[in-house]
Structure 1
């Protein structure tokens, strides 16, 4: 479910809760209409609260996405290599590429070995 603002012929904007199912949109509930931006915002907030009460959906705020991502990554204590990385790490070190000391270079080498497709764009 999501909130939709629909422009009416009269020039007002209707605030509706919409359910998309089987490629069709169904109006679940209409919260009202207005031409006043403040009243439209209040109707949208009311509609979002109604959706949350009906389904338990929580709105995700992406304004602070970078800070939240860094916070999650800071909580990761340990990364364990699995699969092909275990094999490639030892070969990479035996060849002597570990002297380069650049993690990005290591990842690019592994990526090229794991996914050996042409990088040409046609």
Structure 2
């Protein structure tokens, strides 16, 4: 439903609430006619109020008259983002915990890059020195 201004032959403008269903327009309610811009604006406001109270279609409010709903929507969406972030963080922490429970042997067999580390080379050299002494 929406408010329609219909120009008449007499020069006045009628304000009606129109509904479109199955490709056909149907006048639901007439709110009168006026020649002056102020009268037309008043009739349009009455028609818009009637549509909001009638309840068939909710009006989308882009003028931020319903700031509370906008803030609630923003809060809801930020909570979704937080859940996604926390979900990823939780997954990472859980994976790290599970990996910390794996035995050292398994980790060494899976990761052979330790052989390139300077610390490993120093330990290996120390062990070789020790074995030569024995």
Shorter-chain TM-score bucket reads 0.5 to 0.7
| CA gap 1:36/1:75 in 2 versus in 1, 3 angstroms | farther
- Structure 1, unmatched stretches of 5+, are 82-122
* 1:9 match: 9
Shift of the alpha carbon at 1:15? Answer: 0.3
* Whole-Å separation in 1 of the counterparts to 2:57 and 2:22: 20
Alpha-carbon distance, 1:16 to partner = 0.3
**How many residues align structurally?**
79
Mapped pair 1:59 → 2:64: no
- Residue 22 of structure 1 pairs with residue 22 of structure 2: yes
Larger radius of gyration: 2
Distance 1:75 1:56, change over 3 A: farther
Query: Aligned with 2:39: secondary structure?
Result: helix
The 3 A distance-change label for structure 1 pair 53 and 63 is: closer
Q: In structure 2, how many angstroms separate the alpha carbons of the residues matched to 1:39 and 1:4? A: 14
Match of 2:83 among 70, 78, 81: 78
Q: Distance in 2 between matches of 1:75 and 1:9?
A: 56
Q: TM-score normalized by structure 1?
A: 0.53
> 1:6–1:50: structure 2 CA closer, same or farther, 3 Å change rule?
same
Number of the residue aligned with 1:98: none
Tell me how far apart the structure 2 counterparts of residues 38 and 27 of structure 1 sit (CA, whole Å): 23
Q: Partner of 2:34 in structure 1?
A: 34
TM-score by length of 2: 0.48
List structure 1 segments (4+ residues) > 4 angstroms apart after TM superposition: 67-70
Could you say which structure has the higher helix fraction?
A: 2
Give the distance between the partners of 1:58 and 1:71, measured in 2 at CA. Answer: 20
Deviation of the 1:14 alpha carbon? 0.7
> 2:44 is matched with which residue?
44
